[in-house]
C-alpha cells in the first residue's frame, strides 16, 4: 500500500456567524481579506433536508480561507457570546513586530480595542474579537523562532508523556478513563453524529 501523504495545509476553517453582511464587513473591510464565495443553499448537503443557509469564504494572503455559515433559522444570540481563547481561537500571521504594532493601531482605530502585544517567547501576539464573538489573534514569529521550535520539538513527546502522567487522574475523575482511551468512534456512533450535523 502506498504511504499516505499528509495534508498540505488548511483549506478553510468554518464557523457559524450571526449575519453574512456583518461578517463580510469585518473580514473584508477591517481585516482586508477577499470575499471569494457567497454560496446560497436551500438544503443540507448530505441529507437533502430543507435548510436555508449561506456559506461565505474569505481568502487570506497565502490562499488559505476562513469560512462562515449564515443559517437564519439557527440564529441564537447565546451562540455568539465572546469565546474564551482557550476554547478556540484563530491566529493570523504577519511578518514583523512593526506590522504587529500597525495592526494593533488599525484595530484600535476601527474597533476601539485590541490587546497590547504579548510575548509568548516563540511568537508575539495581539488579541481581539470578530462580531460573532470569535477570539482572534495576530501573531509574528520571534527572531529566535526556528531555534526555539527546534529545541521544543526535541523534547515534545517526553513533555507530553509527563503531562499525561501528571493530569491523568484529574481527567479520569471528570470524564472517565474510557473517554480518554477512545481512538475513533464506532461506525454507528459516527453515522449518528454525521446525521445530526446534516452531513449524511
Which pLDDT score is estimated for 83?
81
Q: Which domains does the chain have, with CATH numbers?
A: 1-80 (3.10.180.10), 81-143 (3.10.180.10), 146-197 (no CATH)
Which pLDDT score is estimated for 148?
96
Whole-structure pTM value: 0.86
State how far the Cα of 52 lies from the Cα of 42, in Å rounded to an integer: 4
State how far the Cα of 23 lies from the Cα of 132, in Å rounded to an integer: 8
Are 127 and 120 within 8 A, CB to CB? no
Which pLDDT score is estimated for 196?
65
Q: Which residue from 149, 82, 157 is spatially nearest to 113, judged by alpha carbons?
A: 82
**Phi, psi (rounded to 5 degrees) for 19:** -155, 130
pLDDT tens for the chain, 200 residues long, are: 478 888 888 899 999 999 999 999 999 999 999 999 999 999 988 788 899 999 999 999 999 999 999 999 988 888 888 888 888 899 999 999 999 999 999 999 999 999 999 999 999 999 999 999 999 999 999 999 999 999 999 999 999 999 999 999 999 999 999 888 888 777 777 777 777 666 65
Instruction: Beginning with the edge strand found earlier in the chain, give each strand of the sheet holding 12-17 in spatial order.
Output: 12-17, 65-70, 50-59, 34-43
Report the phi/psi class of residue 189: left, alpha or beta, with left for phi > 0 and alpha for psi in -120 to 50: alpha
Amino acid at each position: 500500500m502506498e504511504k499516505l501523504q499528509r495534508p498540505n495545509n488548511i483549506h478553510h476553517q468554518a464557523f457559524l456567524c450571526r449575519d453574512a453582511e456583518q461578517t463580510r464587513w469585518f473580514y473584508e473591510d477591517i481585516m482586508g481579506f477577499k470575499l471569494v464565495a457567497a454560496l446560497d443553499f436551500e438544503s443540507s448537503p448530505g441529507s437533502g433536508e430543507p435548510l436555508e443557509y449561506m456559506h461565505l469564504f474569505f481568502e487570506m494572503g497565502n490562499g488559505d480561507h476562513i469560512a462562515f455559515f449564515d443559517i437564519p433559522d439557527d440564529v441564537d444570540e447565546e451562540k455568539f457570546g465572546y469565546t474564551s481563547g482557550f476554547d478556540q481561537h484563530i491566529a493570523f500571521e504577519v511578518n514583523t513586530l512593526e506590522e504587529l504594532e500597525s495592526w494593533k493601531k488599525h484595530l484600535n482605530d476601527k474597533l476601539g480595542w485590541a490587546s497590547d502585544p504579548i510575548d509568548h517567547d516563540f511568537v508575539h501576539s495581539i488579541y481581539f474579537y470578530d462580531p460573532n464573538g470569535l477570539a482572534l489573534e495576530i501573531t509574528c514569529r520571534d527572531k529566535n523562532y526556528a531555534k526555539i521550535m527546534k529545541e521544543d520539538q526535541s523534547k515534545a513527546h517526553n513533555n507530553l508523556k509527563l503531562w499525561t502522567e501528571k493530569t491523568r487522574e484529574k481527567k479520569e475523575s471528570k470524564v472517565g478513563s474510557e473517554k480518554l482511551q477512545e481512538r475513533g468512534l464506532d461506525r454507528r456512533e459516527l453515522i449518528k453524529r454525521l446525521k445530526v450535523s446534516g452531513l449524511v
